[in-house]
């Protein structure tokens, strides 16, 4: 087994890394947006009862909007991150 120093000084002798996993980021982003929607409903209920703050509601809306931006990015870059031509 080669030493760590040898592996660091001769990277060509290392075995190749595993191929990247093929993931569907759309599902991940949609899951995040769904969680923000649940949080928005909860914070709206608390806010409407007079115990919540506007900042909490705005934070949830911002999370949903940023998730939408993430969906746009995912759609534009899908072939790149999935390794498709």
Residue at 9 is within a domain:
no
Cα–Cα dist 43/29, whole Å? 21
pLDDT by 10s per residue, the chain, length 85: 678 888 788 888 878 888 878 889 999 999 999 999 999 999 999 999 999 999 999 999 999 999 999 999 999 998 887 777 5
Domain that holds residue 69: 23-82
Q: Per the structure, how many domains does the chain have?
A: 1
Is residue 59 situated within a structural domain?
Answer: yes
Give the pTM: 0.74
Residue 53 within a domain: yes
Judged on CB neighbours under 10 Å (0-12, 13-18, 19+), 52 is: middle
């Amino acid at each position: 087994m080669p030493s760590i120093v040898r592996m660091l000084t001769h990277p060509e002798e290392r075995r190749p890394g595993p191929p990247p996993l093929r993931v569907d980021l759309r599902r991940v982003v949609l899951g995040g947006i769904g969680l923000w929607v649940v949080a928005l409903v909860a914070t709206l209920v608390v806010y409407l009862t007079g115990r919540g703050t506007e900042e909490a509601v705005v934070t949830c809306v911002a999370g949903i909007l940023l998730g939408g931006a993430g969906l746009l990015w995912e759609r534009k870059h899908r072939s790149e991150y999935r390794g498709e031509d």
